[in-house]
Amino acid sequence: MGTKEDDSGRTQTAATTTATASAAAPTASAAAGTSPAAAPGDGPPGAGGARGRRERINHMPGAGTARAEAISAGRREMLSDAHRNQIRSLAERGVKRPRIGADAICEAVLRQGVDVFFGYPGGVVLPFYDVLVDYPELRHILVRHEQGGAHAADGYARATGKVGVCLATSGPGATNLVTGIGNAMLDSIPIVAITGNVVGSLLGKDAFQEIDITGITLPCTKHNYLVRDPNDIPRVFAEAFHIARTGRPGPVHIDLTKDALMGVCSAEHPETVDLPGFKPTFEGHFRQIKLAAQEIARAERPVILAGHGVLIADATEELRELAEKAQIPVAHTLLGVSAIDETHPLSLGFVGMHGWKHVNRTIQSADLLIALGMRFDDRVTGHVPTFAPYARIVHVDIDPAEIGKNVAVEIPIVGDVKRVLMALLPQVEPVAPERRAAYLREIDEWRAESEQASWHGSGAWRNGQLSADYVVAKIGQASGHDATIVADVGQNQMWAARYAGFRRPKSHISSGGLGTMGFGLPAAMGAAIGRPDKETWAIVGDGGLQMTVQELMTLVQDNIPVKIALLDNHKLGMVRQWQELVYAGNYHSSHLLGPDWCKLAEAYGVAAFRATTPEEVEGAIAAARAVDGPALVHFVIAEQQNVFPMMPAGKGLSDLLEEQFEEPKQ
Residues catalogued as catalytic: 146, 208-209, 258, 574
Q: Tell me if 576 sits within 8 A of 173, measured CB to CB.
A: no
Q: Tell me if 486 sits within 8 A of 523, measured CB to CB.
A: yes
Q: Which of 17, 209, 294, 406 binds another protein (CB under 8 A)?
A: 406
Amino acid letter, 47 = A
Cis peptide before 664 (omega within 30 of 0): no
110/275 with CB nearer another protein: 275
Rg of the chain (C-alpha set) = 29
Q: Which of 56, 285, 405, 503 binds another protein (CB under 8 A)?
A: 405
382/505 with CB nearer another protein: 382
339/368 with CB nearer another protein: 368
Where does this chain touch another protein (CB under 8 A) — which range of 23-31, 319-327, 382-390, 521-529? 382-390
Strand partners, 116: 139
Where does this chain touch another protein (CB under 8 A) — which range of 3-11, 30-38, 429-437, 520-528? 3-11
**Minimum distance of another protein from residue 12's CB (angstroms):** 8
340/363 with CB nearer another protein: 363
Q: Tell me if 293 sits within 8 A of 428, measured CB to CB.
A: yes
Amino acid letter, 489 = V
Within 563-622, which residues bind another protein (CB under 8 A)?
580-582, 584-585
Q: Which of 48, 215, 270, 595 binds another protein (CB under 8 A)?
A: 215
Residue 387 touches another protein, criterion: CB under 8 A: yes
Rounded Cα distance between 263 and 640, Å, is 59
Helix (H, G, I), strand (E, B) or coil at 534: coil
Which three-class secondary structure string do you get for 203-243? CCCCCCCCCCHHHHHHHHCCEEEEECCHHHHHHHHHHHHHH
Number of residues written out for the chain: 666
Q: Which of 316, 347, 364, 516 binds another protein (CB under 8 A)?
A: 364
Q: Tell me if 315 sits within 8 A of 372, measured CB to CB.
A: yes
Where does this chain touch another protein (CB under 8 A) — which range of 63-71, 91-99, 117-125, 403-411? 403-411
Give the total of residues touching another protein (CB under 8 A).
58
Residue 660 touches another protein, criterion: CB under 8 A: yes
Q: Tell me if 619 sits within 8 A of 325, measured CB to CB.
A: no
Residue 389 touches another protein, criterion: CB under 8 A: yes
Residue-wise burial string across 493-519, b where 16 or more C-beta atoms lie within 10 A, e elsewhere: bbbbbbbbbbbebbbbbbbbbbbbbbb
Angle (deg, nearest 10), helices 286-298 and 417-424: 60
Residue-wise burial string across 379-397, b where 16 or more C-beta atoms lie within 10 A, e elsewhere: bbbbbeeebbeebbbbbbb
Rounded Cα distance between 17 and 437, Å, is 76
Q: Which of 275, 297, 448, 622 binds another protein (CB under 8 A)?
A: 275
Q: Which of 401, 437, 438, 622 binds another protein (CB under 8 A)?
A: 401
Q: Which of 278, 282, 461, 578 binds another protein (CB under 8 A)?
A: 278
**Minimum distance of another protein from residue 534's CB (angstroms):** 33
Residues lying near another protein in the complex (CB under 8 A)? 1-5, 7-8, 11-12, 214-215, 218-219, 222-223, 226, 243, 275-278, 300-301, 361, 364-365, 367, 384-390, 399-401, 403-408, 580-582, 584-585, 642, 648, 651-652, 654-655, 657-660
